[in-house]
Structure 1
Amino acid sequence: MTIENINKNNNTRNDYGKVVVLMGGWSAEREVSLNGGSAVVDALQKQDIDCVALDIKKSEVFSQISNCEYDIAFNMLHGRGGEDGIIQALLELKSKPYTGSDVSASAITMDKVKTKQLLEGVGLPTPSFAVITEESDLEYIASSLGLPLVVKPALEGSSFGMSIVEEVSEFYDAYVLASDFCSSVMAEAFIEGIEYTATILGDDVLPIIRLETPRKFYDYVAKYEATDTHYFCPAGLDNNEEEQLKNLALSAFKACGAIGWGRVDLFIDQDNKPWIIEINTVPGMTDHSLVPMSAAQAGINFETLVLMILDEALKKEKYAEVVNENQSN
């Protein structure tokens, strides 16, 4: 087998074997995961792919993975336990392919502080930030980063525990809210501008989406419940601007070691400068989610998208086989 043959992606229904869709979990994003996981199961069943849903529980996760018979795992677990390297480590022990990034990339991208440190280290633009503790001088941090600023848990997704601080007097309450979700809390410079998101699928970046919400920011309600959140795809960028933003998103994704599929959230500020905000290695797949929306603009329906994500997992396994074969020769 050669690298060229791997890239052809001529997988058939039989190549997938039995697919287990991991969903639920124990993070604050459990309901989002269940919704997205159910959508993936429905898509597989519509294509007569043998699949089973597995609702992951923290107290049973080791035995659930150990005792499950499958050929490939589709990971739809969000947040801690599912997107931070823990489930990936258990799946590695099974020596079976799974969707998304490996242990190290998952652990890095789940931790917003570590992600920003890495991005800064390789010279990619991300807003200034500070780690906050109970002993932090909040007035000094506010002065350094400027107001308004963003306060959020370092290890949560879907904007849980996130606040916009406009006055120093609001800072401590925002810290307390974020610390209810995670002991690691960060403050980040607020970027005044337009929010975009880029879907990564393999080595490709799908059409950019522009987001608009009348709320203070793109929070949980705006993402999953509101009817007045607006999405624009095409995003209204000219071809050069879109390509530059795509290249930046892919550079950030690869810098963190992420592979397979994911989403990179960005802003373009009032001076037309782009900023990387977050990297998601297990994006949502609900009816409100951005990845299926971007795929649809590229002419990829939901059922095909699910298979393409599985194809990336199989490709990852085949790459590993080629590397091991070359090393043994």
Structure 2
Amino acid sequence: MASSADAAGSTHPSTHVTILAGGLSHERDVSLRSGRRVAESLRAAGLEVSVHDVDADLLRFLDQHRPDVVWPLLHGASGEDGSVRDVLQLVDVPYVGTGPRECRAAWSKPVAKSIVIGAGITTPEYVTLPQSLFRELGAQPVLDAVVERLGLPLVVKPTQGGSALGVTLVESADQLPRAMVDCFAYGNVALIERAVRGTELAVSVVDLGDGPRALPPVEIVTDGPYDYDARYNPGRTQYFAPARLGEDSVSAVQEVAVRAHQALGLQDLSRTDVILDADGEVQFLEVNVAPGMTETSLFPQAARAAGLDLSELYRAVVRQHTGV
């Protein structure tokens, strides 16, 4: 599927941005909504914009139209694992965001955790277990060992993926088997980490050529788990942008987000999810190289909290790759 709409009366008709949105992941709908939002903002900034799905027509489209830059707004597999960016490099088309190798590292939650731990960042204790191990050793002995080691509550999540798909907060040991089943519906490897109580925050980072800087953290308050429904359907979740934190806490969470961005070699923009625990320590959860840009997404909320105009911000991101 492909769609294209040029900005009427564009003040910069020679600058053509192609946004990649859609794909075949579980997060297709979120990606399409993100793509529409960014396209609207870039058109408002006077740029020519086309929106294209990731399909069999994509390479022909890129060859015929040769956009000045591609902005991948794909969520989930292929969109965030670096593979689409590898293809863009193969056909010599510039793109917004992080390179393929760094995407692959950030896309794997255990790999990302290992890298940020090496940079001195704290993350909740965790184990990574493939589905095959449960068949070989038996599920219950393994789960008993997990609870014995990590305690309760726990968070179970796929090692790859976003939008909280397959993620479960486990309060009691009898909930753990079901949580594993739900997790394995979205991937063959599970990350089980000790749940941390505290303030849940999302910290977006932008780099417009003068080094990465963190935007105001967004505080997330939800009645129940911060799951897919709570993220993308208004009403279930309260957001405080900027977060209700003291100056020292704001600085601490922003520093962790920038350090994670740098340690992982990310480019242009990212979003880091953290918990500020009861002791005031920042606990790294995961990082996103293609933050959602929907009407309820955290990156746009942070940008508005910083007093930034989204059209001008997105145009500045694009300008780094076009010079226009």
TM-score band, normalised by shorter chain: 0.7 to 0.9
Q: 1:84 aligns with which of 81, 99, 121?
A: 81
- Percentage of matched positions with identical amino acids: 29
Paired residues of 1:208 and 1:234 also in contact (CA < 8 A): yes
Question: What is aligned with 1:45?
Answer: 43
Question: What is aligned with 1:167?
Answer: 172
Higher helix proportion: 1
Paired residues of 1:175 and 1:185 also in contact (CA < 8 A): yes
Paired residues of 1:56 and 1:64 also in contact (CA < 8 A): no
- 1:139 and 2:108 equivalent? no
Paired residues of 1:292 and 1:305 also in contact (CA < 8 A): no
Q: Measure, in 2, the Cα distance between the counterparts of 1:121 and 1:82.
A: 26
- Specify the SS of the correspondent of 1:293: helix
Q: Partner letter of residue 198 of structure 1?
A: V
Question: What is aligned with 1:253?
Answer: 261
Deviations along 1:165-197, one digit per CA (max 9) or x if unpaired, are 122222122111111111121111101111011
Question: What is aligned with 1:263?
Answer: 271
Question: What is aligned with 2:181?
Answer: 176
More deviation, 239-248/61-70? 61-70
Deviations along 1:252-303, one digit per CA (max 9) or x if unpaired, are 1110111110111110111211101111110011000111111111111221
Alpha-carbon RMSD across the aligned residues, in angstroms, is 2.0
Q: Measure, in 2, the Cα distance between the counterparts of 1:310 and 1:71.
A: 9
- 1:277 and 2:274 equivalent? no
Q: 1:208 aligns with which of 189, 193, 217?
A: 217
Q: Partner letter of residue 294 of structure 2?
A: T
Q: Partner letter of residue 111 of structure 2?
A: K
- Specify the SS of the correspondent of 2:219: strand
Shift of 1:100: 0.9
- 1:32 and 2:40 equivalent? no
Q: Measure, in 1, the Cα distance between the counterparts of 2:144 and 2:57.
A: 44
Question: What is aligned with 2:125?
Answer: 128
Q: 1:304 aligns with which of 296, 312, 315?
A: 312
Shift of 1:63: 4.9
Q: Which runs of 5+ in 1 are unaligned?
A: 1-11, 319-329
Q: Measure, in 2, the Cα distance between the counterparts of 1:199 and 1:29.
A: 20
Q: Measure, in 2, the Cα distance between the counterparts of 1:16 and 1:244.
A: 42
Deviations along 1:64-108, one digit per CA (max 9) or x if unpaired, are 555552110111111111111001101112323211100111111
Deviations along 1:144-171, one digit per CA (max 9) or x if unpaired, are 1111101111111000011111222221
Q: Cα 1:179–1:62, aligned 2, differ >3 Å: closer, same or farther?
A: farther
Count the aligned residue pairs: 303
Question: What is aligned with 1:289?
Answer: 297
- Specify the SS of the correspondent of 2:21: strand
Q: Cα 1:312–1:289, aligned 2, differ >3 Å: closer, same or farther?
A: farther
Shift of 1:309: 2.3
- 1:188 and 2:193 equivalent? yes
Q: Partner letter of residue 54 of structure 1?
A: H
Q: Which runs of 5+ in 2 are unaligned?
A: 1-9, 135-141
- Specify the SS of the correspondent of 2:166: coil
- Specify the SS of the correspondent of 1:156: coil
Q: Measure, in 1, the Cα distance between the counterparts of 2:63 and 2:190.
A: 34
